[in-house]
Amino acid sequence: MFFARHIVKYKYYYMRWILMKKLVIEFSNERLITPSGLSLVGQMLGKSSFIKKCNNMKVDGKRFQCQIKNGYILLSYIGLLCQGKTSYDAINEMSDDPEYYRLALGITRAIPSAETLRRRMDDIGSSLREEVLNANVDMFHTFNVQPSALESGLVPLDLDVTPMDNSKTHKEGVAHTYKCFDGYAPMMAYIGTEGFLANTELREGSQHCQCNTPAFLKQTLQLGHQLTDRQLLVRMDAGNDAAENLGILIEDGSWFIVKRNLRRGESKEDWIRTVKECCKDIRNPRDGKTVYIGSSWKDVAYTDSEGVSKTITMRIVYEVIERTTDKNGQFLLVPDIECNTIWTNLGWSDDDIINGYHAHGECEQFHSEIKTDMDVERLPSGKFDTNELVLELTVLAYNILRLIGQESLKSKRAPKTKHPVKRRRIRTVTGNLIQIAGHVTTHGRRIILAIGCSNVWRHAFMDVYNRFALA
């Protein structure tokens, strides 16, 4: 018994010694690349004429004749955005093996330095807005991709403002937002159930969400019709409840669901008295809570693009909730009344309209993926026009990552998930397909990128690469 106890003790210390053995760190001359997925980015952008146009562009009345052209400047920064990096200094990480990064991104000359990148981005500013948005549309056409529709056959187009926290900075345009911090308040437009980014506009933090929205809405509708052949379903929050917006949507022929504000002269008490008299759909989900759901109609006057005044009778879907007790059964001295009203021109049932508006909240996840997964919140420049360029290039980078993620779902050899997945988060795409490690070798005038056999994403990476390289 004595010897057995010592043998067990010896085995314990021996196994602990084996587990605590330290690794020996050595430097190798092998070309091991971490962001091998940049080759996917280069393949997708290499088929676009956007970079060639930027190389020949004029800024401030003169064409740059530098060794590193403007198209390669933008291409390098899109490569950083696809890795979730916005800082100019992050470009220095490509200096250890510039040959691979030039090859992966399709840059013919040199990788720019951080100083060159910063200066040239400032020079370009917001002059490329139309070119970037058109390049985004061309990318979808090149790879024959259309945003997916809802079960009704309509393609959702969600417009929403998302504040970006840039507090404790002195950047141009930073102001106090409605979220009670200093920053920007850009408008975003997402299309399809996948959440592709169709349009964006950087705005000062104190700017009201309706300011300049009619022009943005017109441009977004035009881009939406270029991205899909199906009819659009435009969804907006109450901040964009304006007759001008409704008139634009009606003249465009699009369907819409827009949250409505109570007008001057309307009150929650008036609504609860009205629905108690005429509402036929009354529900009691619990004791002390009554829900009234139905539709009403009201005339809306607007002015079309030719300056002609028009009036149309429009449907209002309402959901009025009266609570006499809280969720814990405590009686309220004064009933709590909640009144939700929605503008729409759809013929759907009241429940479908309400659920359709609630589905608009999914764009909050798209906001978070841009601001956290891609780190596009604290914009890198102190100049407003440069930050606007960064946000516009985010449209291309975000959609590239989204396309890669959606294509990886089609791969039968991709890692299995516990639950069915309809969309891969940007963080998943960046971590598993962009930051995938590879071994670069040269043989027979060919450059070979080898993915290790221990990486479970290697087959999905190959399928995605073949899809976009052979398109």
Q: What is the mean pLDDT of each run of 10 residues along the chain (471 residues)?
A: 54 58 77 90 84 73 64 92 95 89 88 93 91 94 94 96 95 95 97 96 95 96 96 96 95 96 90 92 94 95 88 95 92 94 96 96 95 95 96 96 95 86 93 93 86 90 88 66
pLDDT for residue 146 = 94
Q: How far apart are CA 36 and CA 439, in angstroms?
A: 9
Q: Please give the backbone phi and psi of residue 10, each rounded to the nearest 5 degrees, phi first.
A: -65, -45
**CA-wise closest residue to 86 among 428, 341, 398, 433:** 398
DSSP assignment of 231-274 equals: PEEEEE-GGG--HHHHHHHHHHT-EEEEEEPPPTT--HHHHHHH
**CA-wise closest residue to 70 among 62, 139, 197, 397:** 62
pLDDT for residue 20 = 57
**CA-wise closest residue to 189 among 370, 50, 375:** 370
Q: How far apart are CA 64 and CA 246, in angstroms?
A: 44
In contact, 383 and 125? CB cutoff 8 Å: yes
Question: CA-based Rg of the chain, rounded to a whole angstrom?
Answer: 27
- 3-state class (DSSP) for residue 466: helix
In contact, 150 and 233? CB cutoff 8 Å: yes
For each of the domains in the chain, give its residue range(s) and CATH number, in order of start.
31-129+391-469 (no CATH), 131-373 (3.90.350)
pLDDT for residue 190 = 98
Q: How far apart are CA 268 and CA 322, in angstroms?
A: 10
Q: Please give the backbone phi and psi of residue 386, each rounded to the nearest 5 degrees, phi first.
A: -70, -40
- Per-residue pLDDT of 248-279, as tens digits, reads 999 999 999 999 999 888 899 999 999 999 99
Residue 307 tokens, joined: 């300056």
The predicted model scores a pTM of 0.91
pLDDT for residue 285 = 93
Which positions ≥6 away from 239 have C-beta within 8 Å?
161, 208, 209, 210
Burial class (CB in 10 A: 0-12, 13-18, 19+), 278: exposed
- 3-state class (DSSP) for residue 319: strand
Which element (helix H / strand E) includes 406?
helix 384-410
Residue 310 tokens, joined: 């028009």
Strands, E assignment, 36-106: 58-59, 62-63
**203-209: long-range contacts (C-beta < 8 A, 24 or more apart)?**
203/161, 203/173, 204/173, 204/174, 204/175, 204/384, 205/163, 205/166, 205/173, 205/174, 205/175, 205/176, 205/177, 206/175, 206/176, 206/177, 207/175, 208/239, 209/161, 209/185, 209/237, 209/239, 209/240
Q: How far apart are CA 272 and CA 279, in angstroms?
A: 10
Handedness of CA 42, 43, 48, 49 (dihedral sign): positive
DSSP assignment of 278-310 equals: H--EEEEEETTEEEEEEEEEEEEEEE-TTS-EE
